[in-house]
Amino acid sequence: MGPSYARITAFDESHTKFASKYSLYLYREQGRDPLPDENEGFSHLGGIPILFIPGNAGSYRQVRSIAAETSDLYFDHYLESDDLNPNAKNYDFFTADFNEDFTAFHGRTMLDQAEYLNEAIKFILGLYANSEHPPRSVVVLGHSMGGVVSRVMVSLPNYNPDSINTIITLASPHAAAPLTFDGDILKIYSAVDRFWIQGYDNEETDNTIAKIAKERLSNISVISITGGLLDTILPADYTTLGYLVPPTNGFTVYTTGIPGVWTPIDHLAIVWCAQLRRQVLKALLEIADFESPDKTYSLDKRMKVLRKNFLSGFENYASQDKVANDKTTNHIFLKAGSQQINYVQEGQKLKVVPGKTPSPLNIFRSASPKRSKVQFSLLSSMKIGEHTSDVTEGYTQPTLLLCNTTDAIEEGVNIIDYTNEETTEIVLFNCIDISEDSSIIPRSADDTSSLSESSIGGEKSPYHAIQYNSTMIEPYDTLIVTGLL
């Protein structure tokens, strides 16, 4: 890690009245990011702009951990891989120095910071004016009160429409002010909350403020991350977005439920915790779309990526992203003989052991309509892989298919054929591969004593699981688990 901070002195009194009070910096990772040239200034910028907002009495240098690892991940992996997001680009991290102001104590200070940052975003976007694909918006990452400031920014008169598309907050008190020493804090919270509630209200209105709110908030996604029990400064209940942001645009999540993190985090460590920052920057690179003016994907795709990265995958809210609910999913056609099939009875458990699987296709028949409360769960110590058309060498990973038996298959389609010369009775299946729906969960084997052993950076690999309820299974009559041969 080789941090460097370039102060942007050009953002002066000619751009904002707060230039004598606050400063704007650009983070550069030495050896990774091109450094500003004394003569050419910031003409080298070619990434995606992101703004880090520190919290109460916070430092602009807190951006270092996540900014440095974002550069490492992008240059070490994304530049060399065809399997990762092809539209990703490294992020240019900007951050504000508020001289460690006490945002939580003083309402006027919070307004000053929000107004300053709106002007800063206008200036930041101007730095890219001569680039081939100039951005029109930024991503915002806020810690503690910095996350609240990001919501205040959108409600102010000097906010530039569409200049913010995604807000990720770490331990930010959205639901209520943490301290009430200053009456202005309560008034600001009330006014900002009212603005956001009006912005997501589906009812038609003639109210001018409500119309402005709807226009500004419609494309913004907001994720609130809380550290849970270890955050003794801010109770987790304060971080909820519950009544402020609808599920279409955001959600609140505990770090204990984030895949690969699985641990509570204290108020300060939430900025630099290795497991969390890796998951945050992974999400940032996956929502990136450098070719678009916003530099991120559409709201729907952004939310899908954010749900995949920050939710466990077992919430009802996350079920909308299941492969079975995607009408555009490609179908797989199987042809098998009875000797290749192992029928598993309803209620019976199947254990697949390497080298000891009785047959390649283990089939569960869907329950009868009379039994509505049915759930299918698959737990694997190996990654649940994509079904392959090569059946000659066997499978190295388990796969899971949702299928319907069929009497015939259209000509011209690709069929995975399990039959051989000894096959007498043929069964045809029309399937979808639901391996994408697998989620990682903490390892629970005898050789594991703590969650951290299988978390991100741990010594052991996590387990993988898929869970489907009766509603998702209902359109299909068969579930097929392919085992190791």
The set of catalytic residues is 144
The span from the CA of 319 to the CA of 323, in Å, is 9
Residue for token pair 């497991």? 275
The span from the CA of 76 to the CA of 206, in Å, is 52
The span from the CA of 171 to the CA of 234, in Å, is 7
Burial of 194: CB neighbours in 10 Å, binned 0-12, 13-18, 19+: middle
The span from the CA of 449 to the CA of 467, in Å, is 25
Nearest to 419 by CA among 342, 353, 338: 338
Nearest to 261 by CA among 170, 174, 178: 170
**Letter string b/e over residues 163-189, b meaning 16 or more CB atoms within 10 A of that residue's CB:** bbbbbbbbbbbbbebbeeebeebeebb
| 295 within 8 A of 260, measured Cβ to Cβ | no
Beta strands across the sheet bearing 439-441 = 375-380, 463-469, 439-441
The span from the CA of 109 to the CA of 158, in Å, is 16
Joined tokens for residue 467? 């869970």
| 87 within 8 A of 290, measured Cβ to Cβ | yes
Strands (E) located in 385-438: 399-406, 415-417, 426-433
Taking residue 329's Cβ as centre, other Cβ atoms within 10 Å add up to: 15
Residues pairing with 91 in the sheet: 48
Q: Which three-class secondary structure state does DSSP give residue 443?
A: coil
Joined tokens for residue 314? 């077992």
Alpha helices in 39-135, H assignment, sequence order: 64-73, 107-126
Joined tokens for residue 154? 């959108």
| 207 within 8 A of 198, measured Cβ to Cβ | yes
The span from the CA of 414 to the CA of 389, in Å, is 9
Nearest to 162 by CA among 208, 123, 216: 216
* Residue 166 identity: T
Nearest to 130 by CA among 40, 52, 50, 67: 40
